[in-house]
Copies of this chain bind each other. A is one copy, B any other.
Amino acid sequence: MPFLGPSDFKHKELAPGVTIRSTAGDRMTLTFFTFAPRSIIKEHKHPHEQVGHVLEGGLEFVIGNEKKVVKAGDTYLIPSNVPHSAVALDTPTGVLDVFSPVREDYK
């Protein structure tokens, strides 16, 4: 710290084919998601605000009542407690998400 290396990240498998590595400050958690092709994050919600940016590949994303395919370079903002789900396209996919407040469940 402040320059983050591999040992600063905690790894976790969130769902089949969906792995994350996370690091947290006092107010935010930064998480890299890796999706295998067609892997799924089921609908869920959380009190944390979430901003995300697709680094590679793409996802069919549902946020609240809106559905969109997001691809590398696209950005989204999920307000607190809005349900969301995602399915990766037929390609390895990487996403960077930041949550506030800190995700205690990713520690």
Q: Restricting to A19-44, which residues have a CB under 8 Å from any CB of B?
A: 23, 25-28, 30
Q: Which residues of B contact A30 (CB under 8 A)?
A: 51, 53, 75, 77, 98
- The 8 Å CB contact of A4, one of B26, B76, B82, B96, is B76
Q: Which residues of B contact A25 (CB under 8 A)?
A: 49, 51, 77, 79
- The 8 Å CB contact of A77, one of B2, B64, B80, B96, is B2
Q: Is the CB of A76 within 8 A of B3?
A: yes
A residues in contact (CB < 8 Å) with B:
1-4, 23, 25-28, 30, 49, 51, 53, 55, 61, 63-64, 66, 68, 70, 74-80, 82, 96, 98, 100-101
